[in-house]
Amino acid sequence: MADKASKAMSLLKLAEERAILKKKTDEEKRKEKLDSIPYISKDCVFDILIRLPLESLQHSRFVCKPWYNIIKSPRFIRDNLQRAEKVVIFLSPLNNYLRGRWADQDSVFHENANTFSVESKIFDLRSVHGLHRLLIDPSSKYVIRYMTFVDGKSVLGDFNATCLGQIRASCDGLIVVDNMLKKGELLIMNPVTRELSLLPLGTIYPQHDESFGLVYSGTQGYKLVHLFRDEFGFIGCEVLNIGEKSWRDIDGPAFGLIKWFGSEPVFALGALHWVPEIDHSEYIVTMTIDDEKFHKIMLPKSCRFNDRIMVVSQCLCFVTHEELNEISIWIMESLSEEIWTKKYTIATGCIRDLIPLYFARLKWEIYFMDKDCSLFAFDFERERMTKITTKRGNFLLLGTSYLVHVNSLVSWKTKHDGIDP
C-alpha cells in the first residue's frame, strides 16, 4: 500500500512539473510572439481610428481598453466632429416609410431586439417596472433616419432607433426630441451613441407658436433657446443650460419683430437667426448667444418663401431667388459690421422653385430640393448643377420636417470645440 501511495505521489509530482514546464514554455512563446509585433504608437493608432466611419468606431472601441480610451477621449471626439459631413435628419413612420407607391423593400424599417426605443430608455431612467409600462401602439412610432449625398447619389441611413415625439433642434450631432410620455417635456440625445437625458419642464405652448434652437457656447456648454408667443402676441424667451435643473427667463425680441415660427433658426457667427415672416421678410431676428440679446439685421433684399438663411464656412449666408432662373449667394462675415456681400450667382436654367437645403462642410457645394421633391447639387468649382440620383424610397417629401445634422460621438457633458451647423 505504501509503494502504491508513493508511486501515486510521484506521478502527481511529475504531472505538476510538466504543467509548470508547459506554462513556462507557453509564456515564453507568447512573449516571443509579442516581441515580434512592431510597436504602434498611440498617436498612430489615433490617426488610423479617426479615419474610420462611425459604424466601425462603435465596434472598434470594444476591441481593447487602449482603443476604448482613445475613442472616448475629448480630443478624438472633437477631431471626429471636425471631420463630420452634414446630413439631413428626419422622422418616418415605423414600417411605413414613404407611404404608398414609393414604398421600397430596402427602405422599410424592421424593428428588432437591437432597436433603441427612446420611450423604453425613458422608462429605464425613471425606474418604471416593466409591468407598469404603457403599451405603445407601433403605428404611432417614428424611425429616426438621415440622408446624405455621396458622389451624386442620395444615401439613406438610420440609427436603428424609434421615438414618439418630433425632433425640435439639432447641434453637433445632438438632437432635442419631444417626450410624449409627459406633456411639454423634452429630452436630449445623441442618436449615434444612444446617450439620452431628460430635460426639465419649461413653458408649454402649441408647436406652431414656439421655436427651439440648440447651440454650443465654449464657456457655457450647450444651451437650448426657447421662443414662444403668448396669448397677447408677445414673444417670450427662456434659456436652459444643458445639465442645469431649471430654465432662465430672459428678455425676448421687441414686440412685432417675429410673426412666424415656420422655419428653424440658424446658428452662425455666435448667434441664432430667425426669419420672422413666411414671405417678404425684410430682415432677420438675431440673438447673440454670449449676452443673450436680440436685435434685427436687415437683409440685402426681401426674403421670399423659397429663400433661406444658412451657414457656409462659419459665415451667415442668404440664398435668394434674384430672377426667374437665378439664385444669388449673399455672405455676412461679421455681426459687428452687418455687411452683406454678394459672392455668387447660380444660373438654374429651366429648373425653378429650388429650395436650398444646406451647404456641404467639406466641399464647396450646395444642395437643393425642387417642388416635386427632386434633389440637386451645385458644384461651385465646376460651376455645374446636377440632379442627384435617388433610389426608389430615398428622397425627402416636401413638407417633411427635416433638420441639418451631423453624425458624431459628442456628449453634452464634454467640453469641446463646436462646429458650424
User: Residue 218 has what pLDDT?
Assistant: 79
3 state SS of 74: helix
User: Residue 232 has what pLDDT?
Assistant: 85
Radius of gyration of the chain (CA): 27
Which residues lie below 8 Å from residue 180, measured CB to CB, with a gap of 6+?
119, 163, 164, 165
User: Residue 403 has what pLDDT?
Assistant: 93
Q: Where are the domains of the chain?
A: 84-303+397-406
What distances in angstroms separate CA 397 from CA 24, 374, 402, one per listed residue? 67, 9, 10
Q: At residue 174, what are phi and psi to the nearest 5 degrees? A: -95, 145
**Between residues 270 and 51, which one has the greater pLDDT?**
270
Strand-strand pairing, 153-163 and 116-117: parallel
Q: Are 164 and 108 in contact (CB under 8 A)?
A: no
Rounded to whole angstroms, the Cα distance separating 228 from 203 reads 8
User: Residue 4 has what pLDDT?
Assistant: 57
Rounded to whole angstroms, the Cα distance separating 391 from 102 reads 10
User: Residue 101 has what pLDDT?
Assistant: 37
The answer to whether residue 281 scores a pLDDT higher than 90 is: yes
The answer to whether residue 10 scores a pLDDT higher than 80 is: no
The answer to whether residue 195 scores a pLDDT higher than 90 is: yes
Which CATH architecture group holds 84-303+397-406?
Answer: 6 Propeller (2.120)
The answer to whether residue 7 scores a pLDDT higher than 80 is: no
The answer to whether residue 314 scores a pLDDT higher than 70 is: yes
Reference 176, options 157, 153, 156, 200; nearest CA is: 200
Q: ∠ CA 292-296-301 to the nearest 5 degrees?
A: 145
Q: Are 146 and 87 in contact (CB under 8 A)?
A: yes
How far apart, in Å, do the first and last CA atoms of the chain sit? 86
Q: At residue 31, what are phi and psi to the nearest 5 degrees? A: -65, -40
Helices (H) and strands (E) in the chain, counts: 6, 25
The count of residues in the chain is 421
Share of the chain above pLDDT 90, in %: 47
Rounded to whole angstroms, the Cα distance separating 167 from 152 reads 27
Q: What is the pLDDT of residues 344-394, one digit of tens each?
A: 999 887 677 899 999 998 889 999 988 888 899 999 999 999 999 887 655
Q: What is the pLDDT of residues 216-263, one digit of tens each?
A: 987 789 999 999 998 888 999 999 999 999 999 999 999 999 999 988
Cell numbers for 338, please give them. 452687418
Task: Give the confidence band of 108 by pLDDT, cuts at 50, 70, 90.
Answer: low
The pTM (predicted TM-score) of the whole model is: 0.84
Q: What is the pLDDT of residues 113-147, one digit of tens each?
A: 788 999 999 988 887 766 567 777 777 889 999 99
Q: Are 111 and 96 in contact (CB under 8 A)?
A: no
Q: What is the pLDDT of residues 63-106, one digit of tens each?
A: 788 888 888 888 888 988 888 899 999 998 876 544 443 445 45
User: Residue 270 has what pLDDT?
Assistant: 93
User: Residue 100 has what pLDDT?
Assistant: 40
Cell numbers for 138, please give them. 407601433
User: Residue 130 has what pLDDT?
Assistant: 65
Task: Give the confidence band of 1 by pLDDT, cuts at 50, 70, 90.
Answer: low
User: Residue 98 has what pLDDT?
Assistant: 42
Rounded to whole angstroms, the Cα distance separating 43 from 41 reads 5
Reference 91, options 171, 138, 139, 145; nearest CA is: 145
Q: What is the pLDDT of residues 19-61, one digit of tens each?
A: 777 777 777 666 665 455 456 777 787 788 888 877 777 777 7
Task: Give the confidence band of 416 by pLDDT, cuts at 50, 70, 90.
Answer: low
Q: Helices (DSSP H) in 213-323: which residue ranges?
A: none
What distances in angstroms separate CA 343 from CA 49, 238, 324, 346, one per listed residue? 37, 36, 19, 10
Reference 185, options 165, 161, 213, 162; nearest CA is: 165
In this prediction, residues 13-24 reach a mean pLDDT of 74
Across the chain, what does the average pLDDT equal? 84
Cell numbers for 8, please give them. 501515486
Q: What is the pLDDT of residues 156-187, one digit of tens each?
A: 888 999 999 999 999 999 999 999 988 889 99
User: Residue 360 has what pLDDT?
Assistant: 93
Strand partners, 240: 224
Strand partners, 157: 146
